[in-house]
Amino acid sequence: MKKIVDVNELRVTDIPIVGGKGANLGELTMAGFPVPNAFVLTTAAYDYFLENSDIMDFINSEIASIDRTSDQSLTDCANRIREKFEQIEIPAEFKDEIVKSYNKLFPKGKVGFVAVRSSATAEDLPDASFAGQQETYLNVHGEEDLFDKIIKCWSSLFTARAIAYREKQGYAHEDVKLAVVVQKMVNSEVSGIMFTVDPNSGAKEIVIEAGYGLGEAIVGGEVTPDTYKVDKSTMEVKAKRISTQKWKYTKGKDGKTVKEDIPADMEKVQKIDDLRVKEIAEIGRQIEIHYEKPMDMEWCVEDDKVYIVQARPITAVGDMTTNETVQTEAASEDIITTGLGASPGLASGKVIIYDESMSLDVVKDGDVLVTGMTMPDMVPAMSRAAAIVTDEGGMTCHAAIISRELGTACVVGTGNATSLLSDGMMITVDGTSGTVYKGDLTKKSSSNAAAPAMVCADPVPITGTRIMVN
């Protein structure tokens, strides 16, 4: 098997050797969709790196030593494994191969910027979502920077959240391998994510989220994006939720990714106009037709051109006919705050306000986890929570995706939950409507089911039409 493959040579069937991200980029490129040029270090490259070191014995020993009752034990183990990875050099002859592929992405003599993204062989598969568990590095520049970020991607297969999630899903650690996508960098003016069905309700509409700058702020839940809903039959914009965005990630003068303030007159306006919304939605509709299933994709715009930088099948979709919710007329006076319903269902519990300085062990079974935004390392605590509420984020942030995978009610983008709520408060979270109530209202709820329902999405019909988040 080749250790390096050009993205043009890949198809969706190549997931075992280049992971979901790499295989889907190849499939999109083949189908004529606008994808930035890239190459992929295959799982053979990962195996080659491991075989030229003694690290696997170290990894197995460390994982065997984890105290499964302690999140801190898991975190400490993961840190030791990553430190060991990053002490190892890529063999010199393989460095030469990487440099040749890197140079092909750019005009002769030019050293360009790339995004370096992990692509796990068990990531982006229909039965599980490893969203945010492995690393992505933007604005990587030069050979040494590239080598460093490739190793960091490989080592990110052993973060605490990745180890915990694999064990929960029943994946053997040695069976999950990592490919690395090296993609020409798009310095996005605006970027976002798109679902070709509403992941919360299951409605047959296209949901687009948009924000200024590079898409990592949206994916990471650091900002709350605009949300646009497009009718799939008429391709008309049927609903909008415009957010306030005060800063963005962009490429700084030194080439590094930096935060940049947004002018006050641009903070509260639409991040993309309706024509752009429809253009992006049509690309999404055509990608869904190509794959014959609902899709989740990342997009960005540079120099007035839309690019697709990632696509994957949607792993879980809410069913609006069975989602539990609070009767509005019975609880309107009990509303504390509202946000975006990101994972359907209804749950009550005592609040725990969490920040990064705290141990994950403070979150107990049945607590309602309230935080500014969730981070991938928080997955063990998220799995214990009855519900999750965040200040920031949209339908495609980490909190939303993981909550849908867990079947946990989730409200994101409230803007004020951490300031309005306090530890020990009893609250009810309605993940369908995006509402947080005081008290336990679960017994007053009107529902057709006892728990949130997540179903597989129906495949879309094949038609005769086809046009083709750095």
Tens of pLDDT, residues 146-169: 999 999 999 999 988 788 878 777
Predicted local confidence at residue 403, as pLDDT:
92
Higher pLDDT, 290 or 163: 290
| Alpha carbon distance 300, 190 (integer Å) | 6
Q: By mean pLDDT, which of 3-17, 49-63, 237-251, 274-288 is the weakest? A: 49-63
CA distance 148 to 171: 27
Q: Of 178, 235, 173, which is closest to residue 204 (Cα–Cα)?
A: 235
**Alpha carbon distance 137, 122 (integer Å):** 20
Query: How high is the pLDDT of residue 327?
Result: 59
Copy the structure tokens of residue 157: 């297969």
Lowest mean pLDDT among 107-121, 125-139, 286-300: 125-139
Whole-number Å distance between alpha carbons of 400 and 224: 12
CA 423 to chain centre: 28
In angstroms and rounded to an integer, the radius of gyration of the C-alpha atoms of the chain is: 22
- Residue 123 reports pLDDT greater than 90: no
Higher per-residue confidence, 427 vs 334: 427
Q: Burial, 189: exposed, middle or buried (Cβ in 10 Å; 0-12, 13-18, 19+)?
A: middle
pLDDT digits (tens, 9 = 90+) for 6-30: 999 999 999 999 998 999 999 999 9
Per-residue pLDDT averaged across 297-313, rounded?
95
The strands making up 190-195's β-sheet, listed across from edge to edge, are 237-241, 226-231, 205-212, 190-195, 295-302, 305-313
Bridge partners (DSSP) of residue 211 are 191
What is the per-residue pLDDT for 395? Answer: 87
Angular region, 185: left φ>0, alpha ψ -120 to 50, beta rest: beta
Distance CA 369, CA 431 (A): 13
Nearest to 283, CA basis, from 32, 46, 50: 32
Q: What is the mean pLDDT of the chain?
A: 88
Clarify whether 398 is annotated catalytic: yes
Q: State residue 449's pLDDT score.
A: 39
pLDDT attached to residue 464: 31
Mean pLDDT of 208-225: 93
CATH fit for domain 4-184, picks 3.30.300.30, 2.60.40.420, 3.30.1490.20, 2.130.10.10: 3.30.1490.20
Residue 165: predicted pLDDT? 75
Flag whether pLDDT at 381 surpasses 50: yes
Question: Domain map of the chain by residue range?
Answer: 4-184, 190-318, 328-447
Average pLDDT value for residue range 216-229:
92
CB within 8 A of 61, min separation 6: which ones?
Answer: none
190-318: what CATH class? alpha beta
Determine the average pLDDT of the residues in 358-365. 92
On the question of pLDDT at 451 being above 80, the answer is no
Distance of CA 97 to the CA centre of its chain: 30
- The region of weakest confidence among 36-45, 158-167, 255-264 is 158-167
Work out the pLDDT band at 453, boundaries 50, 70, 90. very low
pLDDT at position 379, please? 84
Residue range 296-307: mean pLDDT, rounded? 96
> pLDDT at residue 130 above 70?
no
In this prediction, residue 328 carries a pLDDT of: 52
CATH topology of domain 328-447: Glucose Oxidase; domain 1 (3.50.30)
3-state SS of the chain is CCCEEEHHHCCHHHHHHHHHHHHHHHHHHHCCCCCCCEEEECHHHHHHHHHCCCHHHHHHHHHHCCCCCCHHHHHHHHHHHHHHHCCCCCCHHHHHHHHHHHHHCCCCCCCCEEEEEEEECCCCECCECCCCCCCEEEEEECHHHHHHHHHHHHHHHHCHHHHHHHHHHCCCHHHCCEEEEEEECCCCCEEEEEECCCCCCCCCEEEEEEEECCCHHHHCCCCCCEEEEEECCCCCEEEEECCCCCEEEEECCCCCEEEEECCHHHCCCCCCCHHHHHHHHHHHHHHHHHHCCCEEEEEEEECCEEEEEEEEECCCEECCCCCCECCHHHHHHHEEEECEEEECCEEEEEEEECCCCCCHHHCCCCCEEEECCCCHHHHHHHCCCCEEEECCCCCCCHHHHHHHHHCCEEEECCCCHHHHCCCCCEEEEECCCCEEEECCCHHHCECCCCCCCEECCCCCCCCCCCCCCC
Phi and psi, residue 109, nearest 5°: 90, -5
pTM of the full predicted structure? 0.82
Q: Name the pLDDT band for 175 (thresholds 50, 70, 90).
A: confident
pLDDT at 339 over 60: yes
CB neighbour class for 357 (10 Å; exposed up to 12, middle 13-18, buried from 19): exposed
pLDDT band at residue 127 using 50, 70 and 90 as cut-offs: low
Residue 466 clears pLDDT 70, i.e. is over it:
no
Residue 96: φ, ψ to 5°: -60, -40
User: Per-residue pLDDT averaged across 312-328, rounded?
Assistant: 64
* Cβ neighbours around 201 below 10 Å, total: 18
The C-alpha atoms of residue 411 and residue 427 are separated, in whole angstroms, by 13
Look at residue 468 and tell me whether its pLDDT is greater than 50. Answer: no
Can you tell me the distance from the alpha carbon of 120 to that of 165, in angstroms, rounded to the nearest whole number?
13
* pLDDT band at 173; cut points 50, 70, 90: confident
For residue 460, name the pLDDT band (cuts at 50, 70, 90): very low
* Integer Cα distance of 73 and 161 in angstroms: 12
Q: Does the structure show a pLDDT above 90 at 114?
A: yes
Catalytic one of 141, 173, 290, 398? 398
- Residue 324 confidence class, pLDDT cut points 50, 70, 90: low
Q: Over the stretch 186-205, which tens digit does the pLDDT of each residue have? A: 999 999 999 999 988 888 99
